[in-house]
């Protein structure tokens, strides 16, 4: 009975803690709140954007071509008369999806490989780390462009190319953490209690590596979106008529003299989104660092 009572109490306690911490993060700096606000808006628009859009993003209306911003078309229209506001909203969804897939792939692969390398050590670790060195020695964007060009222009290939560029960072990060954690006394204590390698990885290491990975992800999201748009801008990524921000900017580039709104609004959307993720990532990093040091020890007098 008593055990049950205490247990029930534990859940709200954990939630309260989470809420308190979120509040603390948002209050720690105005930029944190700004970053979180932008990210929240972008994610909401990605989910509900299509429903909110006044027009079909791919609907052609040649009579309304190259119209400046107005109450009917907030961001104006392009040379085929497509509503740019609707296209930018649709683009938000593409950017978020692309970022989620790129980072999902590279985090899953990279983190796991890093943990295994750090734990197993020896020759395997040696090989894995040299391979990451090899990847990291290339300029990341050039490498991604080369891979995307080799595979052929398409949004899927761009995503794959960027995932290939991102994973080694997560491998290094995870391995470094594991090397530091595996000699920690709480890991030794688990071993003395009879824990095997899998237990230690799943219950101790993953949970302690994760917050640091999350911070890195939030810093990388903006970069992944920017890189996707840049590759699309170069013609290697999204193909017409996909309303990807980079692709819209490319199309509108030659019209900048006559229809300034065409490349400008997707450009602003891209810039603000990337800024939002960077602010959030920086804020998270600064906020989590001293806390990690505190909770992982070493902050005695």
Partner 1 sequence: MLSVRDLVVRFSTGRGVVHAVNGVSLDVEPGGTLGLVGESGSGKSVTSLAIMRLLPRGGRVVSGQVWFGGRDLLRLSAAEMRSVRGREIAMILQDPQSSLNPVLPVGEQIEEAIRAHERVSRPAARARAVELLGAVGIARPEEQLGRFPHQLSGGMRQRVMIAIALALRPTLLIADEPTTALDVTVQAQVLELLRDLTDEVGAAVVLISHDLGIMARMAGRIAVMYAGRVVESAPTEELFARPRHPYTVGLLRSIPRIGGARRALVPIEGSPPDLERLPEGCPFAPRCAWRIEACWTQNPSLATDDGPAHLVACHDPAEPEEVGPGRPIRPGFAPAPPPGIRAGVA
Partner 2 sequence: MSATLLSVEALRVHIPVTRGVVLRRTTGVVRAVDGVTLDVREGETLGLVGESGSGKTTLGRAIVGLVPPTAGSIRLRGVEVSTLSGRGARRARSELQMVFQDPFASLDPRWPIARSVEEPLRLHRAGDRRERRERVLELLELVGLSRRMADRYPHELSGGQRQRVGLARALALRPALVVADEAVSALDVSIQAQILNLLQRLQEELGLAYLFIAHDLAVVHQISDRIAVMYLGQIVELSPGVDLYREPMHPYTVSLLSANPVPDPSVEAARERIVLPGDPPSAAAPPPGCRFHTRCWLRERLGDPEICRTLEPLLREVGPGRSVACHFADEAAASPVTRRAVDLAGGRA
* Contact footprint for partner 2 (CB under 8 A): 2-4, 6-7, 9-10, 13-14, 126, 184-186, 188-195, 199, 203-204, 207-208, 294-300
Nearest-angstrom CA–CA distance, 76 and 3: 64
Read off the tokens for 257.
Answer: 């003299």
Q: Which two tokens stand for residue 261?
A: 């709104």
Give least dist CB 296 to partner 2, A: 5
Specify the residue, 23 or 294, whose C-beta has the smaller distance to partner 2.
294
Q: How far is the CB of 184 from partner 2 (least distance, A)?
A: 5
C-alpha 92/C-alpha 76 separation (Å) is 17
Binding partner selected for residue 19 from partner 2, partner 1, none, CB under the kind-specific 5 to 8 Å limit = none
The option from partner 2, partner 1, none interacting with 294 (CB < 5 to 8 A, set by class) reads partner 2
| Whole-number Cα distances in Å, 162 to 135, 148, 207, 228, 275 | 12, 8, 26, 8, 20
**Shortest Å distance, C-beta 22 to partner 1:** 14
The nearer residue to partner 1, 28 or 72, going by C-beta atoms, is 28
Which of partner 1, partner 2, none has residue 191 at its interface (CB below 5 to 8 Å by kind)?
partner 2
215: number of Cβ within 10 Å: 22
Q: CB of 184: closest distance to partner 1 in angstroms?
A: 20
Contact residues for partner 1, defined by CB under 8 A: 24, 28, 300-301
Q: Which is nearer to partner 2, 51 or 193 (CB)?
A: 193
Smallest gap from residue 137 Cβ to partner 2 (A): 16
Choose among partner 1, partner 2, none what residue 24 binds, the Cβ cut-off being 5 to 8 Å by kind. Answer: partner 1
DSSP designation for 82: -
| Residue 19 or 142 with smaller CB distance to partner 2 | 19
Residues 190 and 226: their CA atoms lie apart, in Å, by 43
Contacts 24+ apart (CB under 8 A), 43-51: 43/96, 45/89, 45/92, 45/93, 46/92, 46/93, 46/95, 46/96, 46/97, 47/93, 49/89, 49/90, 49/92, 49/93, 50/89, 50/90, 50/93
Cα separation, 46 vs 62, in Å, equals: 27
Given CA atoms 229, 231, 233, 235 in this order, what sign does their dihedral have? negative
Binds 62: which of partner 1, partner 2, none (CB < 5-8 Å by kind): none
Rounded to a whole number of angstroms, the minimum distance from the CB of residue 291 to partner 2 is 8
- What does 28 bind: partner 1, partner 2, none (CB cut-off 5 to 8 Å by kind)? partner 1
């Amino acid at each position: 009975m008593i055990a049950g009572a205490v247990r029930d109490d534990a859940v709200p306690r954990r939630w309260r803690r989470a809420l308190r911490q979120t509040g603390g993060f948002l209050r720690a700096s105005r930029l944190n709140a700004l970053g979180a606000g932008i990210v929240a808006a972008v994610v909401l628009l990605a989910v509900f954007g299509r429903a909110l859009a006044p027009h079909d993003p791919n609907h052609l209306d040649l009579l309304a071509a190259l119209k400046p911003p107005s109450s009917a078309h907030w961001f104006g229209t392009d040379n085929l008369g497509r509503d740019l506001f609707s296209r930018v909203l649709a683009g938000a969804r593409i950017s978020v999806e692309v970022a989620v897939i790129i980072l999902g792939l590279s985090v899953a692969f990279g983190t796991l490989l890093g943990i295994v390398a750090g734990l197993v050590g020896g020759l395997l670790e040696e090989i894995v780390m040299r391979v990451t060195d090899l990847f990291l020695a290339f300029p990341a964007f050039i490498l991604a462009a080369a891979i995307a060009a080799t595979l052929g222009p398409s949004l899927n290939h761009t995503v794959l190319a960027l995932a290939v560029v991102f994973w080694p960072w997560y491998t290094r990060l995870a391995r470094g953490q594991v090397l530091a954690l595996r000699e920690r006394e709480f890991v030794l204590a688990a071993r003395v209690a009879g824990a095997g390698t899998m237990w230690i990885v799943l219950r101790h290491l993953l949970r302690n590596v994760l917050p640091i990975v999350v911070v890195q992800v939030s810093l990388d999201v903006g970069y992944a979106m920017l890189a996707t748009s840049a590759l699309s801008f170069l013609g290697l990524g999204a193909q017409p008529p996909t309303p990807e921000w980079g692709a819209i900017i490319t199309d509108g580039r030659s019209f900048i003299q006559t229809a300034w709104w065409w490349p400008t609004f997707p450009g602003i959307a891209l810039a603000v989104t990337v800024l939002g993720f960077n602010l959030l990532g920086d804020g998270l990093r600064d906020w989590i660092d001293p806390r990690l040091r505190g909770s992982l020890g070493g902050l005695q007098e």
